[in-house]
């Protein structure tokens, strides 16, 4: 069975800086694949290239059997590839429900409808409410998104990614800035989601990574230095030196 996401020899430079260096990853359907690495390793650049925000200099990306290397962002979303953002990128002046409803609307055909009130359409509002319920934000649905806490923003991010009923989620540091309680909630949520979606997870939070990942790829300076099952990675000396060592030092 072919992999859902196949990345081959991806490369990207910014001037003199190599952000992505001959990177190849294969992710089969149903897997939760974590990508870890020190800061500057090119993890966000990788997600940007996978989602279509950046165009790679060379290499190929295949999703669900089609070559999407040059496909623009909206088209990738239509194919079932959704992403969340590391830095909060929401519609802050719209309500929480409006935010998610927009994500639903994006996959509900074209939007050249000028007359009917969008906020009254159940075919948009119901799936939006369902996604909000999944992440536990139902109580906040009528507040402007700017009124939410940081942790709730991360939840909203997830809800929006889910609302488009994707086949695969690209999650860019969903735990960023979350306290212990919120992190635990997020991990539990992701564990549930794992059952129905394929997930590429970029994260720094090692506890979460080892709790969730089926496979882990380690990135340093844009290139893959190791890839395999979590126990293999944990025991890999090279990885420990490059990355996990400093993580343990930080977390004591």
Tell whether residue 102 is a contact of other proteins (CB under 8 A). yes
Under the criterion CB under 8 A, does residue 105 sit at the interface with other proteins?
A: yes
Work out whether 111 is an interface residue with other proteins (CB under 8 A): yes
Among residues 112, 122, 181, 249, which is the contact residue for other proteins, using CB under 8 A? 112
Determine the Cα–Cα distance for residues 51 and 69; give it in Å rounded to an integer: 10
Residue 176 interacting with other proteins (CB under 8 A): no
Among 41, 103, 31, 1, smallest CA distance to 247 is for 41
The pair of three-digit structure tokens given for residue 29, joined into one six-digit string:
């359907």
Span from 21-29, 108-116, 187-195, 242-250 in contact with other proteins (CB under 8 A):
108-116
Q: Binding to other proteins by residue 14, rule CB under 8 A? A: no
- Binding other proteins (rule: CB under 8 A), the pick from 113, 150, 191, 229 is 113
Q: Which of 1, 117, 181, 249 binds other proteins (CB under 8 A)?
A: 117
The per-residue b/e assignment along 107-128, b for 16 or more CB within 10 angstroms, e otherwise, is: eeeeeeeeeeeeeeeeebbebb
Q: How far is the CB of 145 from other proteins (least distance, A)?
A: 9
Q: Cα–chain-centroid distance for residue 171?
A: 2
Q: Least separation, in Å, of the C-beta of 120 and other proteins?
A: 9
The token duo for 228 is 């395999």
Distance of CA 235 to the CA centre of its chain: 26
234 CA to centre of own chain: 23
Q: In the set 70, 78, 188, 237, which binds other proteins (CB under 8 A)?
A: 78
Instruction: Please list every residue from 34 through 73 that binds other proteins, using CB under 8 A.
Output: 51, 53, 72-73
Contacts of 202 (CB under 8 A, 6+ apart): 34, 35, 36, 43, 44, 46, 47, 86, 170, 171, 172, 173
Displacement of CA 122 from its chain's centroid (Å): 27
Q: Are strands 198-202 and 215-220 parallel, antiparallel or unpaired?
A: unpaired
Task: Write each residue from 185 to 224 as x if it is in contact with other proteins (CB under 8 A), else as -, in one continuous string.
Answer: ----------------------------------------
Q: Does 150 engage in binding with other proteins (CB under 8 A)?
A: no
Compute the CA torsion angle 79, 1, 6, 158 (nearest 10 deg). 50
Is residue 82 a contact point for other proteins (CB under 8 A)? yes
Q: How far is the CB of 65 from other proteins (least distance, A)?
A: 20
- Asked if residue 17 binds other proteins (CB under 8 A), the reply is no
236 contacts other proteins (rule: CB under 8 A): no
* Footprint of other proteins (CB under 8 A): 51, 53, 72-74, 77-78, 82-83, 85, 89-94, 98, 101-103, 105-107, 111-119, 121, 124, 160, 164
């Amino acid at each position: 069975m072919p992999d859902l996401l196949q990345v081959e020899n991806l490369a990207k430079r910014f001037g003199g800086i190599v952000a992505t260096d001959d990177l190849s990853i294969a992710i089969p359907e149903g897997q939760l694949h974590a990508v870890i690495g020190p800061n500057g390793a090119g993890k966000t650049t990788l997600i940007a290239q996978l989602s279509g925000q950046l165009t790679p200099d060379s290499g190929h990306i295949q999703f669900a059997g089609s070559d999407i290397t040059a496909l623009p962002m909206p088209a990738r979303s239509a194919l079932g590839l959704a992403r969340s953002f590391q830095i909060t990128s929401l519609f802050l002046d719209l309500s929480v429900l409006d935010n998610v409803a927009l994500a639903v609307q994006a996959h509900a055909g074209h939007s050249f409808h000028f007359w009917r009130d969008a906020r009254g359409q159940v075919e948009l509002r119901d799936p939006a409410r369902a996604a909000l319920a999944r992440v536990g934000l139902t109580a906040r649905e009528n507040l402007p998104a700017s009124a939410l806490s940081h942790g709730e923003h991360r939840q909203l991010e997830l809800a929006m990614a889910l609302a488009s009923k994707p086949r695969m989620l690209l999650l860019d540091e969903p735990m960023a800035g979350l306290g212990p309680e919120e992190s635990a909630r997020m991990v539990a949520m992701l564990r549930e989601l794992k059952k129905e979606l394929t997930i590429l997870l970029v994260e720094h939070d090692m506890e979460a990574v080892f709790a969730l990942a089926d496979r882990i790829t380690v990135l340093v300076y844009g290139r893959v230095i190791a890839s395999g099952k979590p126990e293999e990675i944990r025991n890999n000396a090279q990885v420990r030196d490059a990355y996990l060592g400093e993580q343990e030092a930080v977390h004591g």
